[in-house]
């Protein structure tokens, strides 16, 4: 029973009730309320729990059903839905375990969700029917096929034909007929509809899966190129409703040959569509399959035909990876567009230098060619330093500095990697990273490297421009360890930092073109008049190129009159 206990300041507690509550309340204040239970002296001792994790048993807790928000909690009590499992030793006695689920399309109340094959004779039978079908392992104890049963859709003809084999024993025959009865009821209409569509050369979006069998060759167009792939699997994208296809083709990464993936998507469409109009479709439906096979393999190099089968060649990548010296990017080059390089053996003959320096052409080429063959034969005491060949070409624009480098590369029959200050930027960290990459990869190709207008990296350092000083220091340090043929062009050789002089093997100064040089550049035009116009080599080339473009509009041959018109447009009175 409950009793109120009143506290009087300075006095002990009492259990007596006041005779006049209002008077008592005026003299006393309530301190607290205590609840006294009958038999409190018999309360059980607190439960003593074992230390965490010390009891060697499994403690099961169970997830509850989701509430309206989809959230679940955990309970110690076995929930109502946890009934005895339907698949137990008793169910494993049967040839097939057919799982049925509610059908929501209105055609019937139940549909087959999946089929578990438990009969060993039936597994052996299916091993022959589904031989080579991707994703199926016949040796599993419980072989499961899920709706929509693609393996049987794709191999239905083989399945029905093998079922009629007279050599089947009675047990196998009975088990096969049992499976056939289930599948025919589930797939009969689908397969009949699919066959009707194929006979008419069309297909619905919902039945696309029926014509794509794993492992088959499919045909598609990628980058406007006809390609062949191996079909792997498919699924419907829940968001776009597109029929997504995962395929593969044979590729080479520089070290290994193997399959790499490629994805296709067929957007949803209403009704039927011609199979061959789809973005990708099985190659067997192509009207000129044999011709297409030949076309797809003809562009591949003959040297790999001994290592790959015809089917492997068909699905091999029709491109190689390479580096574009123009765009400075790694790209994929289609094999039918890759040709052997035609080197210009007369490039040096077209190089025009003033008479006093004409004799330098042969020494430049001879020196570069000789040193390219002896790279590393003589080098600095410090490992890795002094292995390169550094040539400085200086002079005003358009006098032949860049053409000299191009001519050397053509004569040596090696690539020319042209780098400009704009390619490197101005940030010290970025410049160093980009320059390291270039200086590392160019020697591996045996290429000639040209840094055009290198003045920003070579000018004399001063205390007023610390940022540029850092660029010069970075360039000088990396230059010391370069191991290839390196040409530098400069418009202001007099401003080059003295530290570079010890690393430059050859330095050539190009003066302005004189009349004789310009006459030689103009070649077949009205030489005397044109050679008197103060143009450099690049300007001459631009004038001739512009005149050539006018030949298409004027419908006449390139001649002096067209060149004269272009010069007048540029402000030269001729």
Q: Do 259 and 396 share a domain, yes or no?
A: no
- Judge whether 530 and 515 are in contact, CB under 8 Å: no
Q: Do 522 and 457 share a domain, yes or no?
A: no
* Last-in-domain residue among 509, 526, 554: 509
Report yes or no on 106 lying in a domain: no
- Judge whether 319 and 335 are in contact, CB under 8 Å: yes
Number of domains observed in the structure of the chain: 3
Q: Do 366 and 431 share a domain, yes or no?
A: yes
- pLDDT for 331: 93
Give the C-alpha separation, 198 to 212, whole Å: 12
Q: Do 219 and 367 share a domain, yes or no?
A: no
Report yes or no on 523 lying in a domain: yes
Q: Do 354 and 502 share a domain, yes or no?
A: yes
Report yes or no on 453 lying in a domain: yes
Report yes or no on 77 lying in a domain: no
Q: Do 530 and 485 share a domain, yes or no?
A: no
Q: Do 360 and 494 share a domain, yes or no?
A: yes
Which of 210, 284, 217 is CA-nearest to residue 248? Answer: 217
pLDDT in tens, the chain (574 residues): 444 444 444 444 444 444 444 444 444 444 444 444 555 566 778 888 888 888 888 788 888 888 888 898 888 888 777 767 777 788 889 999 999 988 887 777 888 999 999 999 999 999 999 999 998 998 888 899 999 999 999 999 999 999 999 999 999 999 999 999 999 999 999 999 999 999 999 999 999 999 999 999 999 999 999 999 999 999 999 999 999 999 999 998 888 889 999 999 999 999 999 999 999 999 999 999 999 998 888 766 655 555 788 889 999 999 989 999 988 899 999 988 888 888 887 777 777 666 666 666 666 776 666 555 555 444 444 445 556 788 888 888 877 788 888 888 888 889 999 998 788 877 888 888 898 999 889 988 889 999 888 887 777 777 677 777 788 888 888 888 888 888 988 887 777 777 777 778 778 888 776 666 666 655 544 555 666 677 776 777 777 777 777 666 556 666 656 676 677 667 666 5
- Judge whether 562 and 556 are in contact, CB under 8 Å: yes
Q: Do 421 and 475 share a domain, yes or no?
A: yes
Owning domain of residue 523: 515-569
- Judge whether 261 and 248 are in contact, CB under 8 Å: yes
Report yes or no on 39 lying in a domain: no
Q: Do 528 and 435 share a domain, yes or no?
A: no
* Last-in-domain residue among 463, 479, 509: 509
- pLDDT for 217: 97
Q: Do 392 and 461 share a domain, yes or no?
A: yes
- pLDDT for 23: 45
- pLDDT for 126: 96
* Last-in-domain residue among 509, 525, 547: 509
- pLDDT for 476: 83
3-state secondary structure string across 305-364? CCCCCHHHHHCECCEEEEEECCCCEEEEEEHHHCCCCCCCCCCHHHCCCCHHHHHHHHHH
In the structure encoding, which two tokens stand for residue 202, read together? 């069309």
Q: Do 500 and 559 share a domain, yes or no?
A: no
Report yes or no on 397 lying in a domain: yes
Which of 514, 435, 443, 509 is CA-nearest to residue 471? Answer: 435
Q: Do 307 and 369 share a domain, yes or no?
A: no
Which of 414, 420, 406, 407 is CA-nearest to residue 375? Answer: 414
- pLDDT for 557: 64
Report yes or no on 33 lying in a domain: no
Report yes or no on 96 lying in a domain: no
């Amino acid at each position: 029973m409950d009793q109120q206990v009143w506290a009087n300041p300075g006095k002990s507690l009492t259990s007596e009730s006041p005779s006049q509550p209002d008077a008592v309340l005026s003299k006393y204040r309530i301190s607290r309320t205590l609840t006294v239970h009958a038999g409190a002296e018999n309360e059980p001792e607190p439960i003593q729990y074992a230390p965490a994790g010390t009891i060697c048993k499994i403690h099961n807790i169970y997830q509850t059903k989701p509430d309206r928000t989809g959230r679940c909690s955990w309970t110690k009590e076995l929930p109502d839905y946890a009934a005895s499992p339907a698949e137990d030793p008793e169910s494993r006695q049967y040839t097939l375990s057919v799982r049925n689920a509610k059908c929501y399309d209105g055609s019937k109340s139940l549909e087959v969700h999946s089929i578990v094959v438990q009969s060993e004779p039936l597994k052996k039978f299916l091993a022959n029917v589904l031989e080579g079908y991707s994703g199926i392992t016949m040796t599993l104890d419980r072989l499961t096929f899920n709706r929509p049963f693609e393996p049987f859709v794709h191999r239905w003809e083989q399945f029905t034909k093998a079922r009629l084999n007279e050599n089947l024993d009675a047990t196998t025959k009975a088990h096969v007929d049992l499976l056939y009865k289930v599948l025919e009821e589930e797939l009969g209409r689908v397969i009949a509809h699919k066959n009707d569509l194929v006979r008419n050369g069309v297909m619905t979006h919902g039945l696309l899966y029926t014509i794509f069998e794993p492992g088959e060759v499919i045909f598609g167009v990628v980058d406007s190129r006809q390609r062949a792939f191996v079909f792997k699997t498919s699924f419907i994208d829940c968001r776009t409703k597109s029929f997504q296809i995962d395929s593969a083709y044979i590729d080479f990464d520089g070290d290994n040959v193997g399959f790499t993936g490629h994805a296709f998507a067929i957007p949803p469409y209403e009704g039927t569509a011609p199979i061959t109009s789809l973005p990708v479709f099985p190659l067997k439906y192509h009207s000129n399959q044999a011709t297409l096979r030949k076309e797809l393999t003809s562009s591949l190099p003959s040297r790999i035909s001994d290592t790959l089968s015809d089917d492997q060649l068909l699905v091999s990548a029709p491109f190689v990876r390479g580096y574009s010296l123009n765009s400075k990017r790694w790209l994929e080059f289609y094999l039918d567009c890759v040709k052997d390089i035609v080197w210009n053996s007369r490039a040096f003959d077209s190089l025009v230098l003033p008479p006093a320096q004409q004799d330098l052409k042969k020494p430049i080429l001879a020196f570069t060619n000789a040193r390219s063959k002896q790279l590393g034969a003589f080098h600095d005491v410090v490992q890795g330093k002094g292995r390169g060949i550094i040539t400085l070409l200086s002079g005003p624009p358009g006098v032949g500095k860049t053409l000299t480098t191009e001519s050397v590369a053509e004569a040596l029959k090696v690539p020319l990697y042209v780098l400009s200050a704009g390619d490197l930027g101005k940030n010290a960290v970025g410049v160093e990273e980009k320059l390291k990459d270039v200086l590392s990869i160019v020697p591996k190709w045996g290429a000639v490297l040209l840094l055009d207008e290198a003045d920003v990296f070579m000018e004399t350092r001063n205390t007023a421009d610390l940022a540029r000083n850092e660029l010069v220091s970075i360039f000088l340090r990396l230059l010391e360890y370069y191991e290839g043929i390196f040409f530098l062009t400069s418009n202001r050789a007099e401003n080059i930092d003295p530290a570079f002089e010890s690393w430059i093997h050859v330095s050539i100064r190009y003066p302005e073109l004189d009349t004789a040089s310009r006459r030689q550049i103009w070649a077949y035009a009205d030489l005397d008049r044109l050679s008197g116009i103060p143009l450099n080599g690049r300007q001459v080339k631009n004038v001739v190129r512009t005149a050539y473009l006018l030949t298409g509009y004027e419908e006449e041959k390139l001649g002096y009159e067209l060149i004269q018109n272009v010069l007048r447009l540029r402000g030269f009175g001729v």
